[in-house]
Chains A and B, each alone.
Chain A
Amino acid sequence: MSSRRARSRQSTSSSRITDEQINDLVSKLQAVLPEARIRGAERVSAARVLQETCNYIRSLHREVDDLSERLSELLATTEASSAQAAIIRSLLK
């Protein structure tokens, strides 16, 4: 993929976006991260926020994978009728 050419074209269009806009978006993203709820509104560098976001998304992916594995095992071993009953119960909760 000749992404170098696409990248240089991207930098010319993205230079119009102000740093302030980026910082604003980054701080919004920081509020979504789980660490933000612990640390409060501490000013972290944008690179750090991006790094934390990557780590967080990776951990979320891992959790989804673990849950998928667990669900597939449960699907294989559970009887259909009792599974249906359990599912209906969980939905009505």
Chain B
Amino acid sequence: MTISNGDGDSAAKDGRRERKRKRRAEPSLVKWKTEGEQKTYSSKLIEALRRVRRSSATGAASAATDHSRSRAVREAADRALAAAARGRTRWSRAILCGRTLKRRVLPRAGRPKPVGPARAAERSKPPALKTKARVLGRLVPGCRKLPLPSLLEEVSDYIAALEMQIRAMSVIAEALSAVGGAPSPAQTEGPM
């Protein structure tokens, strides 16, 4: 299977960091809405789910608690989603690099930032926006210290990706639960 990945491309982009390249760096949101992208993601996800199922079956059935299994499913789904982004966004790269940032999200809401009088002239955004932007940065993996414009771009891509993830997972869950429900006569392998 030949996989053409644009890793070298993104590395070059990071190295340059010029303003002229900014338009190209903007990820297109439309791709998350296409059926093709969702189908690709669904097959990747199903492969990952098979692995989760196999690993939880070979271990002691009692040891694999429901919670650890659902967490494994969630992580597999997120990693597959990040892979679908093809390394063009910060949040996807952060997920693929191990998600340490997301784990450390502690409920530290409401930490007021002391704004000194000397900094008032340089402040271009009111502090209310800054706190909200910081909370937002903590919700998206890998975007904590991002300036507001890049953060907003990452956020819109992240939201579109999450919506696709939810659509794909719902379809798979529906398909699986339809099996467990009434086995249709067309199914020759119905164990029930």
Contacts and interface: CB of A to CB of B under 8 A. Distances in A.
11 contacts: A7-B113, A13-B147, A21-B149, A53-B136, A53-B159, A54-B139, A57-B155, A82-B189, A83-B176, A83-B179, A90-B172
A64 interface: yes
A66 B81 CA distance: 17
A68 B152 contact: no
B73 A68 contact: yes
B66 A73 contact: yes
Interface in A1-30: 3, 6-8, 10-15, 17, 19, 21-22, 25-26, 28-29
Contact of B39 (A75, A85, A91): A91
B185 to A, nearest CB: 13
B124 interface: yes
Instruction: Classify the interface of chain A: helix, strand, loop or mixed.
Output: helix
A56 B73 CA distance: 22
B175 A71 contact: no
Contacts of B34: none
A27 B188 CA distance: 54
Contacts of A10: 145, 147
B66 A29 contact: no
A74 to B, nearest CB: 4
A28 B152 contact: yes
Instruction: Classify the interface of chain B: helix, strand, loop or mixed.
Output: helix
Contacts of A77: 180
B97 interface: no
Interface string A51-74: 101101110110111011111111
Contacts of B39: 91
Interface string B8-44: 0000000000000000000001000000000100110
Interface residues of A, number: 57
Given A10-B145, A83-B179, A87-B46, A68 B122 contact: no
A7 to B, nearest CB: 7
Interface in B161-192: 162-163, 165-166, 169-180, 183, 187, 189-191
B96 interface: no
Contacts of A3: 145
A71 B170 CA distance: 9
Interface in B56-110: 56, 66, 69-74, 77-78
Contacts of B173: 67, 70-71, 74
